[in-house]
Structure 1
Amino acid sequence: MGVGPGDPELLTVAAVRAIATATLVAYPVARPDAEGMAARIAAPWIRPHQRRLPLVFPMVSEAEPRRLAWHAAAAALAAAVAAGEAVVLLCEGDASLYASASYALLALAERHPACPVRVIPGITAVAAAAAAASGQGLPWPLALQQDALLIRPTPEAPDELEALLQRARREATVLALLKLGHRWSWVRPLLEAAGLLEAALFAQRVGWPDQLLAPAAAVPAEEQPYFSLLLIRQGWPQVLP
């Protein structure tokens, strides 16, 4: 289930209720000794008597270690459910959007189809960033009227981003670019050259105490944390207040 991007107050009522009735709380970690961001977000709602199950999802590029981790996680979850545990699997953001939990769900469906599953959606960093910006005097509706909205990882190369920006301009598409990180060092000057820097919104670690929301022009062209995103609007509908 999704626990939102960072603020414990952004868990849904359904998520809080599911945690309250769980006997086992599972959550992804990058390595065995790590705490896990999803567990940190949900920490105020987890009680001491509830057992915890960290599931290692290694942050590596090789396919086989990741595939083995997904299958191991699915096996552990299915075994716990079969033993009578009430299990919740926490997931940062939404469980269906670029989520580690999605792979565990696919592995469950493939290898343990009899295991009952309920997916509880969560607030995405994109939606939370737009809402928080609007509350800080930077009104940022994600989509209006006939706007399209494209959520995707930031392209790997400048020519890919240029082509994406051109297509988005033609098709009246608002862009939400995730996993900005180190790419910001070349994305910023590209947006500046295209005249898009002032209107773009930069968001970093949305929902956490060190959250940053700012016009992209205010953020220097240097490497940024992995959990950074960019909202780019190149035009507005004709009918506005």
Structure 2
Amino acid sequence: MGVGPGDPDLLTLAAVGAIEAADLIACPVARSGAESMAAAIAARWMRPHQRIIPLLFPMVDAAEPRRLAWHQAADTLAAEVATGQRVVLLCEGDASLFATGSYVLLALQQRHPDCPCRVIPGITAVSAAAAAANWPLALQQDQLLMRPCPEREDQLSQALDHAAGQARVLALLKLGRRWLWVRQVLERRQLLESSLFAERVGWPDQTLRPAQDVPGGVRPYFSLLLIRQSWPEVLP
């Protein structure tokens, strides 16, 4: 289930109901002993009698450690469900969009096809950032493309060229270390002023400002960029 990007007030009623009714709450962590950001978001509705278990999902490029983590998580959750436990797996943002929960769902469907599953959606960081900044995401015949930030300048330039020709708004996720050169590309194209930079959306230290006001350098993993290159002809 998705718990949104950070602000507990953005959890849906369905998510709150599922948390309160759960016997066991599974929380993703990137390394052993680390705090779960998803659990921190949902903490307001977690109860002392509930079992809380961390599930390790290493942030590595190698395929096998990730597959092993998804399989182990699916096996753990299915075993608990088989005993009659009401189980929820918390996911930041939306459970179906670039989410750990999607991989676990696929593993459950493959390894435990009889295990009942329900996906509860959550508000994405992209939607939350646009709303907080009063920034319309898509209008009329606009297209909206959400994707991880490209790894190279030429890939970003190509994406911007295609977007300009298709009235396509770009939402680039996981800027992190790429922001240094991404900013340079936007500056050359005179897109800094019209682009929205967002960082740690929904958290107390949230950043929302025009990209031109954000200096170059390494930014946190949870940072994103909204880029609009044109507006529809018919506007108020």
Instruction: Settle same-fold status: TM greater than 0.5.
Output: yes
Aligned mates of 1:30, 1:168 — CA distance in 2 = 34
**Does the residue aligned with 2:4 lie in a helix, a strand or coil?**
coil
Show the counterpart of 1:234. 229
RMSD: 0.5
Aligned mates of 1:20, 1:213 — CA distance in 2 = 32
Aligned mates of 1:128, 1:188 — CA distance in 2 = 22
Show the counterpart of 1:113. 113
List structure 1 segments (4+ residues) > 4 angstroms apart after TM superposition: none
**Does the residue aligned with 1:84 lie in a helix, a strand or coil?**
coil
The 5-angstrom pairing of residues 45-64 of structure 1 reads: 45-64=45-64
The 5-angstrom pairing of residues 123-202 of structure 1 reads: 123-134=123-134, 140-202=135-197
Aligned mates of 2:35, 2:83 — CA distance in 1 = 25
State how many pairs are aligned. Answer: 236
Aligned mates of 1:164, 1:156 — CA distance in 2 = 12
**Does the residue aligned with 2:116 lie in a helix, a strand or coil?**
coil
Aligned mates of 1:214, 1:93 — CA distance in 2 = 21
**Does the residue aligned with 2:133 lie in a helix, a strand or coil?**
helix
Deviations 1:171-230 (A, max 9, x none): 000000000011000010110110111000000000000000000000001110000000
**Does the residue aligned with 1:101 lie in a helix, a strand or coil?**
helix
**Does the residue aligned with 1:119 lie in a helix, a strand or coil?**
coil
Aligned mates of 2:175, 2:200 — CA distance in 1 = 11
TM-score normalized with structure 2 length: 0.99
Offset, 1:32: 2.2
Show the counterpart of 2:209. 214
Deviations 1:28-52 (A, max 9, x none): 1112211211111101111111101
Aligned mates of 2:225, 2:92 — CA distance in 1 = 18
Unaligned residue ranges in structure 2 (runs of 5+): none
Show the counterpart of 2:97. 97
Residue identity matched to 1:156:
E
